[in-house]
Amino acid sequence: MSRIRCDRTPAWTALRALYDSRGRTLDLRQAFAADDGRFERLSLQVPHVFADLSKNLLDPQIQGQLTELARQCGVQEHRDAMFGGESINSTEGRAVMHWLLRHPQGAATHPLTPYVQGELGQVHAVLADMLAYAQAVREDAAITDVVNIGIGGSDLGPQMAVLALDECVDHGKRYHFVSSVDGHELSSVLRQVRPQSTLFLVASKSFTTLETMTNARSARAWFTAQGGRDIARHFCALTSNVQAAAEFGIRTTFGFWDWVGGRYSMWSAIGLPIAIAIGPQRFRELLAGAHAMDEHFRSAPLERNLPVQLALLDVWYRNFHGFNSRSVAPYHSGLRRMQAYLQQLEMESNGKRVDAAGQALPYATSPVIWGEPAANGQHAYFQMLHQGSDVIPVEFIAVKKVAHDLPEHHHKLLANGLAQAQALMLGQQDPGGHRHMPGNRPSTFLLLEELTPASLGALIALYEHRVFTAGSLWGINSFDQWGVELGKVLAKNIEPRLSSGDAAGLDASTAGLLKRLRS
């Protein structure tokens, strides 16, 4: 399908004019004073997520024109191409079908092509096998520790979800995540486990990633050195490179497909640690929550389509207001790896400087995504959000019902979240003084009824589709990641030099550091 870049549409030109005439000076306090219905008009209830967009630098005209931009860029056609199984990952010639991993069999949603239908059959076959295996591991009292060895998408999703769904987790076992090649990580886990009671999950889409393969080899060496015999029982591979896993000596493997990007893979076999931790039924609920969001994205009109509206805000802030980062502020300790997960999802997908045809872009793309669980962030970097020289849109994520019985804590937590969003918007008058806060700083408030597998699934799918839409508007391919390859190649070149000391051909800085490291 042909793509239409945002800067080549009439809507882009109209938005430029709108920004100059009213966007630049829009004042949230005045906007609320002038419009009693602003909160209702700018909030959306979608599956499992309520979103208040009213504290964003929008008015009906701006929002209408942004939505028109999505229309003119062909976001709907691009979305339909994804749901139709077309090869929209143009640089790798692959379809993009992580949504199919949560598509129920026989669902009467949209007609699937014979190719997609065939893939769906395989998805459900692997899912059934994997969930049966997860259940067997859950029932196997001799296995006390599950160690996931994987990095990037083969780590962040499972780790984030196991932490977030702690209430559903079987605490009869311990879950460890080893990602970095920094030997401290693996050796710290190996100190805590015993070979006869440990299951190692080697998670790697490619089964070639340096960190994962180094950790997997060291784990296998430790296992045999400790007298471990039964590799088949204690090692399991989660990969789309089934042959490499077999060559490594792993007999139990759950596969997935090249149309699942690493950072979109927690719904595939990569989700096995989640399924072991929360059980097959809850894992299916996670998938169902994500599917509900897929359906919202696929069928809601652009005006009421939450992933689309969030992506349009991203473009409005990045390309018109010039804001270059977004802070994510979860008010739930279970979401403490959410920012790391979103950093990969958004920045690896949309951190691109050329369009899908390879032409250099004249505008900025992915903002920097950053943050911490916000109760802590408030006592650290929120100072900058309120009084710093940059305007940084904040995304609050809060949960209405919690699983603990300390209601006073929850009221205080929620009050803080609401107060921070309010303070960002209202500011404080102390002209010329140190207490002055300009206010008019935008934020979005996402609210979940409860943090459950279904609501987490919906929240993550919401972000996936928002990233898709922003990438679609920017005209880029959100599904490759060539930028991470050069560093890998250079590391291969440098590694032997750490032993040999050979600095020939290196730049002076790298050569100087190498010398210091060897001295």
- Interface residue with ligand F6P among 78, 173, 205, 318 (CB under 6 A) is 205
Q: Are 456 and 238 in contact (CB under 8 A)?
A: no
CB of 206 to ligand F6P, least distance (A): 3
**What residues have CB less than 8 Å from 336, skipping those under 6 apart?**
163, 330, 372, 373
Residue 379 among the catalytic residues: yes
Cα–Cα dist 98/296, whole Å: 16
What is the size of the binding site for ligand F6P (CB under 6 A)?
Answer: 14
Query: Least CB distance from residue 471 to ligand F6P, whole Å?
Result: 15
Closer CB to ligand F6P, 205 or 291, in the complex = 205
Of the candidates 98, 263, 441, 465, which one interacts with ligand F6P according to CB under 6 A? 263
* Binds ligand F6P by CB under 6 A, chosen from 153, 228, 453, 475: 153
Q: Is 220 in the site for ligand F6P (CB under 6 A)?
A: no
97 class by beta-carbon count within 10 Å (0-12 exposed, 13-18 middle, 19+ buried): buried
Q: Please give the Cα distance from 403 to 391 (Å, whole number).
A: 35
Question: Under 8 Å CB-to-CB from 46, ≥6 apart: which residues?
Answer: 293, 296, 300, 306, 458, 462
- In whole angstroms, what is the distance from residue 490 CA to residue 514 CA? 14
Cβ neighbours of residue 181 closer than 8 Å, sequence gap 6 or more: 210, 211, 214, 215
Exactly one of 110, 247, 303, 379 is catalytic; name it: 379
Considering only residues 9, 63, 89, 209, which one is a binding residue for ligand F6P as defined by CB under 6 A?
Answer: 209
Q: Are 4 and 73 in contact (CB under 8 A)?
A: yes
Nearest partner of 133 among 210, 248, 59, 237, judged by Cα: 237
Neighbour count for residue 478 (Cβ, 10 Å): 29
Which of 339, 319, 324 is closest to 389 using CA atoms? 324
Residue 434 appears among annotated catalytic residues: no
Cα 317 to chain centroid distance, Å, stands at 20
Site string for ligand F6P, 112-151 (x = CB under 6 A): ---------------------------------------x
**Residue 215 sits in the site that holds ligand F6P (CB under 6 A):** no
- Does 212 participate in binding ligand F6P (rule CB under 6 A)? yes
Answer yes or no whether residue 204 interacts with ligand F6P by CB under 6 A.
yes
201-209, 291-299, 309-317, 451-459 -> range binding ligand F6P (CB under 6 A): 201-209
- H-run or E-run covering 300: none
Residue list 154-173, contact with ligand F6P (CB under 6 A): 154
What's the closest the beta carbon of residue 154 comes to ligand F6P, in angstroms? 4
- Rounded to whole angstroms, the Cα distance separating 155 from 274 reads 11
Q: Is 488 a catalytic residue?
A: yes
List the catalytic residue out of 488, 492, 495, 515.
488
Catalytic residue among 348, 372, 395, 464: 348
Give whichever of 147 and 399 is closer to ligand F6P, judged by the CB atom. Answer: 147
Residues between 336 and 365 that touch ligand F6P (CB under 6 A): 348
70-109 binders of ligand F6P (CB under 6 A): none
| Residues annotated catalytic, as ranges | 348, 379, 488
Interface with ligand F6P (CB under 6 A): 151-154, 204-206, 209, 212, 262-263, 348, 481, 484
